[in-house]
Amino acid sequence: MPNKKNSILIIEDSLAISMLIHEFLKKLDYHDVHTCNTGKAGIQSFSDLVNKGIVPVVFLDYHLPDMTANEIMSNILSIRPDTRIIIETADAKNEEQIKAALRDGAYQYVEKPIRYENLKNVIKTLEEEEPDIEKQTFDHGQKIESFLKMSTRISVMRLSEYSDTKVEVVKEYVKKLESEGRIQRIEDIKEITCNQCNSMRIAMNFYCPSCKSSNFKQGKLIEHFKCGNVSIDESYTNNTCPKCRKEIKILGVDYKAIDNYYICNDCGDKFPEPAHDYICVKCNNRFALDKAKWITSEGLKLVR
């Protein structure tokens, strides 16, 4: 029976590349494709999808302006550790970087410039290796081990939640693995939990500081010195200032560009950083950092 095609989330700041990937995926019969141009918008969109019961395969640009690939991956994997993240990198020669990304939980990588053949191969492997742990009937031990395998480091409490196993049972099993020399105890891990249901599946939630909408994009602002207008570059059609209708001429002389600003699609406000709080993926409770509950438990690492 053919697999149902996964949803895809592309987190990529270059519109051209993201359109290219989209095109290729269409050819491979993937039609539910979402795109975001910043890490923050990407995490937001990922947790929205998970809330709707969809776990997308993620294409992640290694170099995004607002967050490192590592930060984005750890946010995504803390929501769903079984997410397949495919890193797009232009430095495929930089083996260390790729190794580090794979170690931190990336599933695969594709080299930029992205070629159809390469992307097709990655997708083929992915389709053949459908892991979908939660749908399979594993016993506790197998579940615990598969989550250990997926993580560079994981706490006992998180392992208990992900594998849906009581903490005492996890601790027993961990003792057994430890005596067999297969895992190693590391320093304790302190983590955020939901102040309502104690879940550790917590996602960062980014929003516009003015109207609290999460519908924002990242863009470039242009300031026209002469009239003082500051607005998104798209509003300067044909290099004409939308306020004074004069032509903008020389960068740095009569106008300047301000990169990496966020623009709210709902209220139009412009801000250098979106505000953020946390959202519990399990019960949808939204809370600020100072209202979060913290929990500390032993950290574990698989011996490789």
Q: Number of residues in contact with Zn ion, rule: CB under 5 A? A: 22
Residue 262 CB, nearest approach to Zn ion (Å): 10
Q: Residues 32, 73, 131, 109: is their CA dihedral positive or negative?
A: positive
Contacting residue, 269, 271, 276, 292, with Zn ion by CB under 5 A: 269
Q: Residues 129, 132, 138, 140: is their CA dihedral positive or negative?
A: positive
Nearer to Zn ion, 42 or 274 (CB): 274
Give residue 92's identity as a one-letter amino acid code. Answer: A
- Verify binding: residue 267, Zn ion, rule CB under 5 A: yes
Do 141 and 149 meet the contact criterion of CB atoms below 8 Å apart? no
Nearer to Zn ion, 77 or 248 (CB): 248
Bridge-based pairing of strands 270-271 and 255-264 is antiparallel
Give the whole-angstrom CA distance, residue 134 versus residue 138: 9
Tokens of 80: 């769903």
- Verify binding: residue 167, Zn ion, rule CB under 5 A: no
- Verify binding: residue 279, Zn ion, rule CB under 5 A: no
- Verify binding: residue 227, Zn ion, rule CB under 5 A: yes
Contacting residue, 214, 229, 231, 297, with Zn ion by CB under 5 A: 229
Contacting residue, 199, 235, 240, 260, with Zn ion by CB under 5 A: 199
- Verify binding: residue 211, Zn ion, rule CB under 5 A: yes
Say whether 171 sits in a helix, a strand or coil: helix
Contacting residue, 36, 85, 280, 300, with Zn ion by CB under 5 A: 280
Q: Per DSSP, what are the bridge partners of residue 222? A: 231, 257
Residues in the chain: 304
List residues near Zn ion by CB under 5 A.
194, 196-197, 199, 208, 210-211, 213, 224, 227, 229, 241, 243-244, 264, 266-267, 269, 280, 282-283, 285
